[in-house]
Amino acid sequence: MKHSSPWPQAFRSLAIIAGAAFSLSVTAQVNVEEAKNVFKDNDCRKCHSPDKAKGGPSLKKIAEKYKGKPDAEQKLIKHMTQGPRVKLENGKEEDHKLLDSNDPKVLKNVARWILSH
């Protein structure tokens, strides 16, 4: 058998290992149970469901909108803590509901959870 350079293979393996470690660390940073509870306790589910528009956009749709945007987390946190004026699916306008927490850890976790859809 002809001996080819071992480098390309080694790089490929490294990339796979790095990729796996990265996705692991991202999932490990989201506490799904906690995020779901916060979402439920704040009545967010009244207007947001994982995959159906329901007053507001589905979580999948929000995640899609922010896919690949490095400032996604900050944008979502801002949205949830400042309550901008929004237009509901039925055309009615109101101030968006605020999340009743100022804890950056809680906010970050919810934002990451939404973006994971």
- Residues in the site for ligand HEC, rule: CB under 6 A? 42-44, 46-48, 55-57, 62, 65, 75-76, 79-80, 86-88, 96-97, 99, 110, 114
- Phi, then psi, of 67 in degrees rounded to 5: -55, 130
Beta bridge mates, 53: 48
DSSP result, 45-76: GGTB-SSSBBSB--HHHHHHHTTT-TTHHHHH
Q: Tell me how far, at minimum, the Cβ of 80 lies from ligand HEC, in Å.
A: 5
Q: Tell me how far, at minimum, the Cβ of 21 lies from ligand HEC, in Å.
A: 28
Whether 54 contacts 107, CB under 8 Å: no
Q: Tell me how far, at minimum, the Cβ of 24 lies from ligand HEC, in Å.
A: 25
Q: Which is nearer to ligand HEC, 18 or 41 (CB)?
A: 41
